């Protein structure tokens, strides 16, 4: 991965390659995991419940159900919401494929609403245009950690009797008008993949205040099986359990939950670090007309999963691909979030065509994600800034 020659044949800004995102694991995390490995339960034990309670408390939700991944959690939420054949679910194309795939898992149809060209979040006006009598739910994604316009999303949902499942994979610790993300929509998903705010290796969770969803999620996570005496249809004796619908094995292990518990204790300090680095990026990059910095709204608080800049291509002699490669040659691990979901070959095969969301397709051409994670040092941030300035001055028009 490491480059020894920069774009102009000179020395790169950095000697070592800086990834765009990375987990932060310390001795306390490791010890917490070891303790569970030495205990009686390494899966479906008390550690899972402890982790679920910790996350529910943190986001001000009544219930939380942990899953083997954020994607599995989204699948669970679509099941609990009753999404089935021919139901339409509205989401954004500027997201990871899982936000739409979870609808396909339930044989529903993802419908893509366009984004706001400034925040890159789903646009309520476009949602309204896409609602039909088949629409069953909306999956807003809090892109980069900045909450989508939830008041307007909830208003549309109320008007048309739709369920709101928030994809908050980027937004653990974010706030919308002083309410924690995780306490607002019908169900909210968080992911614990290593690049997200905290990690369990792989893992995800749904938070909700709705007891019916909570019970369905618990059962869906374990094959559709229940041992709950009150809900049994039959009862053959003390060994008896019942599979009442088709579920999956989507359980998280206690080993993962232990890591999650230890990581949650550091979440606020992780977010602080991210905010501090964003402030430096904002301050040091604001005078470069060749790039457009992330638009921050006043009534929300982002926990900053990603820092996404947009190239002002009219001022550059290079396209996004060339700019991206130049930063890579400086050993800066950049990324692009995301290829609009419906442009993926599989979605094209399903019949989705380019042109569905013009704003999404337009910004996709110019966006680049800069490295941002709590394990970075201020020197790392400075290197990213130096590399950006170097590449901009090399490719600047005039």
Ligand X SMILES: *Cc1c(COP(=O)(O)O)cnc(C)c1O
Q: How far apart are alpha carbons 343 and 360 in whole angstroms?
A: 11
Shortest distance (Å) from residue 146 CB to ligand X: 12
Q: How far apart are alpha carbons 158 and 117 in whole angstroms?
A: 25
Q: How far apart are alpha carbons 156 and 138 in whole angstroms?
A: 9
Shortest distance (Å) from residue 306 CB to ligand X: 9
Shortest distance (Å) from residue 385 CB to ligand X: 25
Kindly tell me which residue out of 51, 96, 220, 270 binds ligand X, with binding defined by CB under 6 A: 96
Q: Which is nearer to ligand X, 93 or 124 (CB)?
A: 93
Interacting span for ligand X (CB under 6 A) from 22-30, 81-89, 92-100, 144-152: 92-100
User: Tokens 């390494």 sit at which residue?
Assistant: 42
Q: Give the H or E element holding residue 159.
A: helix 150-160
Shortest distance (Å) from residue 194 CB to ligand X: 9
Q: Is 191 in the site for ligand X (CB under 6 A)?
A: yes
Kindly tell me which residue out of 32, 47, 71, 121 binds ligand X, with binding defined by CB under 6 A: 71
Catalytic residue, chosen from 109, 136, 196, 266, is 196
Interacting span for ligand X (CB under 6 A) from 5-13, 162-170, 316-324, 355-363: 162-170
Instruction: Give φ, ψ of 378 to 5 degrees.
Output: -65, -30
Kindly tell me which residue out of 167, 186, 361, 366 binds ligand X, with binding defined by CB under 6 A: 167
Largest Cα–Cα distance in the chain? 82
The three-class DSSP label of residue 375 is: coil
The interface mask with ligand X, positions 201-240, x = CB under 6 A, is: ---x------------------------------------
Q: Is 303 in the site for ligand X (CB under 6 A)?
A: no
Q: Which is nearer to ligand X, 47 or 69 (CB)?
A: 69
Q: Is 193 in the site for ligand X (CB under 6 A)?
A: yes
Interacting span for ligand X (CB under 6 A) from 7-15, 68-76, 119-127, 284-292: 68-76
Q: Which is nearer to ligand X, 139 or 392 (CB)?
A: 139
The three-class DSSP label of residue 168 is: coil
Interacting span for ligand X (CB under 6 A) from 5-13, 67-75, 125-133, 211-219: 67-75
Q: How far apart are alpha carbons 329 and 309 in whole angstroms?
A: 18
Q: How far apart are alpha carbons 243 and 249 in whole angstroms?
A: 13
Q: How far apart are alpha carbons 235 and 220 in whole angstroms?
A: 20
Instruction: Give φ, ψ of 18 to 5 degrees.
Output: -100, 115
Shortest distance (Å) from residue 301 CB to ligand X: 19
Q: How far apart are alpha carbons 144 and 140 in whole angstroms?
A: 12
CA 395 and chain centroid, separation: 33
Q: How far apart are alpha carbons 31 and 375 in whole angstroms?
A: 19
Q: Is 141 in the site for ligand X (CB under 6 A)?
A: yes
Q: Tell me how far CA of residue 35 lies from CA of 30, 49, 68, 225, in angstroms.
A: 9, 16, 20, 29
Active site residue 196: yes
Give the interface size with ligand X as a residue count (CB under 6 A): 14
Q: Tell me how far CA of residue 11 lies from CA of 4, 181, 393, in angstroms.
A: 7, 44, 16
Nearest residue (beta carbon) to ligand X? 70
Interacting span for ligand X (CB under 6 A) from 32-40, 96-104, 260-268, 384-392: 96-104
Which residues are at the interface with ligand X (CB under 6 A)? 69-71, 95-96, 98-99, 141, 167, 169-170, 191, 193, 204
* Catalytic residue set: 196
């Amino acid at each position: 991965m490491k480059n020894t020659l920069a774009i102009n044949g000179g020395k790169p800004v950095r000697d070592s390659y800086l990834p765009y995102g990375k987990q932060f694991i310390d001795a306390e995390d490791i010890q917490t995991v070891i303790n569970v490995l030495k205990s009686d339960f390494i899966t479906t034990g008390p550690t899972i419940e402890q982790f679920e309670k910790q996350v529910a408390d943190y986001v001000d939700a009544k219930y939380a159900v942990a899953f083997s991944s954020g994607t599995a959690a989204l699948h669970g939420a679509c099941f609990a919401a009753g999404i089935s054949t021919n139901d339409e679910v509205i989401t954004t194309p500027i997201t990871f494929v899982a936000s739409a795939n979870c609808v396909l898992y339930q044989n529903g149809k993802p419908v893509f609403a366009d984004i706001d060209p400034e925040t890159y979040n789903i646009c309520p006006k476009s949602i309204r245009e896409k609602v039909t009598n088949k629409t069953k739910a909306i999956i807003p994604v809090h892109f980069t950690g900045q909450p989508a316009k939830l008041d307007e999303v909830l208003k549309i949902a109320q008007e048309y009797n739709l369920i709101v499942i928030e994809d908050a994979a980027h937004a653990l610790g974010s706030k919308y008008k002083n309410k924690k993300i995780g306490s607002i929509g019908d169900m909210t998903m968080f992911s614990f993949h290593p690049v997200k705010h905290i990690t369990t290796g792989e893992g995800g969770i749904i938070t909700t205040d709705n007891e019916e969803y909570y019970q369905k999620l618990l059962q869906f996570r374990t094959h559709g099986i229940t041992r709950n005496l009150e809900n049994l249809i039959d009862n053959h004796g003390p060994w008896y359990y019942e599979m009442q619908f088709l579920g999956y094995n989507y359980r998280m292990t206690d080993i993962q939950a232990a890591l999650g518990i230890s990581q949650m204790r550091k979440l606020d300090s992780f977010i602080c670090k991210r905010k501090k680095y964003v402030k430096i990026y904002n301050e040091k990059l604001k005078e470069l007309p060749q790039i457009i910095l992330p638009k921050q709204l006043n009534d929300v608080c982002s926990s900053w999963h990603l820092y996404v800049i947009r190239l002002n291509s009219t001022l550059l002699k290079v396209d996004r691909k060339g700019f991206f490669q130049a930063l890579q040659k400086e050993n800066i691990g950049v990324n692009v979030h995301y290829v609009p979901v419906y442009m993926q070959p599989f979605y094209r095969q399903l019949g989705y065509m380019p042109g569905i969301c013009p704003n999404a397709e337009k910004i996709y051409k110019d966006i680049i994600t800069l490295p941002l994670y709590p394990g970075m040092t201020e020197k790392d941030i400075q290197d990213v800034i130096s590399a950006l300035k170097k590449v901009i001055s090399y490719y600047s028009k005039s």
